[in-house]
Structure 1
Amino acid sequence: MRVFVTGASGWIGSAVTDELLAHGHKVVGLARSDAAAAALDAKGATVHRGGLDDPDGLAAAAAAADGVIHLAFNHDFSDYAGAGRTEHAAVRGMLDALAGGDRPFLLASGLASDVAGRPLTEDDPSPHHGVDSMRGGSENLALSYADQGVRPVALRFSPTVHGMGDHGFTAWLTRIAKEHGAAGYIGDGSTRWAAVHRSDAARMVRLALEKAPAGSRMHAVAETGIPSRDIAAAIGRSLGLPTVSVAPDDAAAHFGWIARFFGMDVTATNTRTRELLDWTPTGPTLLEDIAAGAYRLAE
């Protein structure tokens, strides 16, 4: 397949690009910068220059492809509502371009939900609807095209997609531990994060492109939920620092912007994903990656 991939040079996207190319697919990768374009060209991917703020250009690239994997998102926490509106317009443009062709559209999403007291499952719908909701309501927007000749699939990624070189949430927690001289968790540390290794996530995306039915939600989850105190303890051991509890009222001052996310209980299962895709995670666990030094050099 000729696959248009947004975010193709990012942390998850670069692994997905490698996975697709290794299995005979052709990749057209969206590149906003010269560095991203060079990295994609070196892999053997075709480069499409542009950004998420150009829905017409994205639609043209989607129309010329056999399928789309949309992994990019503008993580601008200073204007998250604006980022959501940009996302909504970009997704709608690509979906309209694909309509009627029975082509796949895979969309990166998250595990945030209104489910309480149990892990999120693939049967649980997203509570976010409309352009003014989280991420522009893009998951529900995409899935609504299942009856318009598109094969939409929601890719729900764990809050930490980990591995050597990861610069995401766990890397930020490591930087904060270095700054404070201690690895912290909030309150009693009972809140949990689902996790998946980057290689497992990339393989799941490729299998979803090839197998996932229209309207499905796939969970890039290997570990249902790791307590935040265990994550902090692993970071502390890796850095040779103590582990401390941070009172909820002091969390924002201690952790900064990531306090909101570290204090969330984000758990999910992967049963339906494993069954539909014949997918079994095989990569290291998050705590194993931390112990191996994946985040020791985080700046």
Structure 2
Amino acid sequence: MHVVLTGATGLIGSAVVPHLVEQGHRVTALVRSEEAAAKAQASGATPAVIDFDSATAIAEAFRPGDAVIHLAAAGDDAEAFDRRVAEAAVGALGGTGKPYVHTGGVWVYGSGDDLTEATPYDAPAITAWRLGVIESLEAEDLALTVLHPGIVYGDGGAGIPQILAGQPRTGDGKLTTLGSGVQHWTTIHVDDLAALYAAVVTSGTGQGAVLGVSGTNPTVAELSAVLAGDAGVEAEDPSATESRLGSGFAEALLLDQQATGAKARGIGGWTPTKPSLAEELSRS
């Protein structure tokens, strides 16, 4: 299979590309610069530098693929960028039956102790923009999967979990949690997530919404305790978290989410096998 992919050099893409290549698939990595092209090529992909400001250019790059995975993000331009990519996907893949995998995020479901793909969206402000993009894709004739990763970890400690280790210490050395710490996080190792992307795209069809989670949902206090060691942890007032990290980001980090990822386990025999986030943090 020829898979065209954006975001090949990011945390997730850097795991997805070699996973697909090892399975014998041909991967074209769409990138913004020659520097990114070199990184993508080193991971086994064939790089193509394109103009991501043009939906037409993106569509032309998508068209030769048997399937497309969109993983790239664009900082302050996130919504406009995602809308351009969605427009390109519709133009290049609409009506063809070729699988298109769009990346969302589990935060769009809000808090819940048993989240599934059927749970109504309740996105915090920082990710609410995703809903319009998803709705626009769902309205088209696409073999669509919207994969919603949980908190991604792995690859030497990269990703959101590193924020926990950077939390302030109290005068007696205790590590403060993010907010009260009672909130659960859905989690997924980046290598397990890469395997899920591969299972989805090679299924040859659209899977609809898919929660990319391992089924292990630790509390933030539990994770912080691993990092704190003998010093222990102390809850932080949520207002202090918001003041330091910004209200939008803090609102998302303070969501209390749990999910089993049952649907994902029904796709191509996918099963998470990597160490839990707590185990990963204990080795750091």
Q: TM-score, normalised by structure 1?
A: 0.84
| Deviates most, 41-50 or 66-75 | 41-50
Structure 2 residue aligned with 1:296: none
Q: Given the alignment of the two structures, is residue 262 of structure 1 paired with residue 253 of structure 2, yes or no? A: yes
CA distance in structure 1 between the partners assigned to 2:131 and 2:186 by the alignment:
23
Once the two structures are superposed, residues 29-72 of structure 1 have per-residue CA deviations (whole angstroms, 9 ceiling, x without a partner) of: 02223332111112331111135433222111111211100011
Q: Which amino acid aligns with 1:289?
A: E
Q: Deviations over 1:156-179 (max 9, x none)?
A: 100x21113242211122233479
Distance between the aligned counterparts of 1:30 and 1:175, measured in 2?
A: 33
Alignment partner of 2:162 out of 163, 171, 180: 171
1:156 match: 148
1:227 maps to 219
**Correspondence 1:241-280 to 2 at 5 A:** 241-256=231-246, 258-280=249-271
Deviates most, 161-170 or 192-201: 161-170
What does residue 27 of structure 2 align with?
27
Give the direction of change, closer, same or farther, for the CA distance of 1:116–1:251 in structure 2 (3 Å limit): closer
Instruction: Give distance in 2, aligned partners of 1:230 and 1:174.
Output: 13
Match of 2:62 in 1: 62
Cα RMSD, aligned residues only? 2.5
Q: 1:210 aligns with which of 188, 191, 202?
A: 202
Q: Is the 8 A contact 2:182 2:219 kept in 1?
A: yes
Q: What amino acid maps onto 2:39 in structure 1?
A: A
1:174-219 CA distance string (max 9 Å, x none): 2334799642224542111100111110001100011264252222
Counterpart in 1 of 2:177?
185
* Distance change >3 Å, CA 288–CA 51, structure 1 → 2: farther
Q: Which segments of 5 or more consecutive residues in structure 2 lack a partner in the other structure? A: none
* Contiguous gaps of at least 5 residues in structure 1: 77-81, 294-299
Q: After TM superposition, give the deviation of residue 127 of structure 1 in Å.
A: 5.7
Matched, 1:138 2:133: yes
User: Which moves more between the two structures, 136-145 or 178-187?
Assistant: 178-187
Structure 2 contact 12–194 (Cα < 8 Å) conserved: yes
User: Which residue identity is paired with 1:276?
Assistant: I
Kindly provide the amino acid, as one letter, of the partner of residue 104 in structure 2: S
Is contact 1:59–1:94 with CA below 8 Å preserved after alignment?
yes
- What is the SS of the residue equivalent to 1:277? coil
For the 8 Å contact 1:184–1:243, the answer to whether it is kept is: yes
CA 1:156–1:187: 2 relative to 1, 3 Å = closer
Question: Structure 1 CA distance, aligned partners of 2:237 and 2:128?
Answer: 30
Counterpart contact for 2:146–2:208, Cα < 8 Å: yes
- What residue identity is the alignment partner of 1:119? D
Please give the alpha-carbon distance, in whole angstroms, between the structure 2 residues aligned to 1:210 and 1:57.
25
C-alpha spacing 1:50/1:3, structure 2 compared with 1 (3 Å): same
- 8 Å Cα contact 2:110/2:255 also seen in 1: no
The residue correspondences of 1:60-139 to structure 2 (distance < 5 A) are 60-76=60-76, 82-114=77-109, 117-124=112-119, 126=121, 133-135=128-130, 137-139=132-134
Q: Distance in 2 between matches of 1:138 and 1:249?
A: 31
Mapped partners of 1:182, 1:53: distance in 2: 47
- Equivalent position SS for 2:40: helix
Does 2:280 match 1:289?
A: yes
Contact 1:189 1:228 in 2 (8 A): yes
Residue 190 of structure 2 aligns with which residue? 198
Percent identity between the two aligned chains? 28
Equivalent-residue separation in structure 1 for 2:121 and 2:53 (angstroms): 24
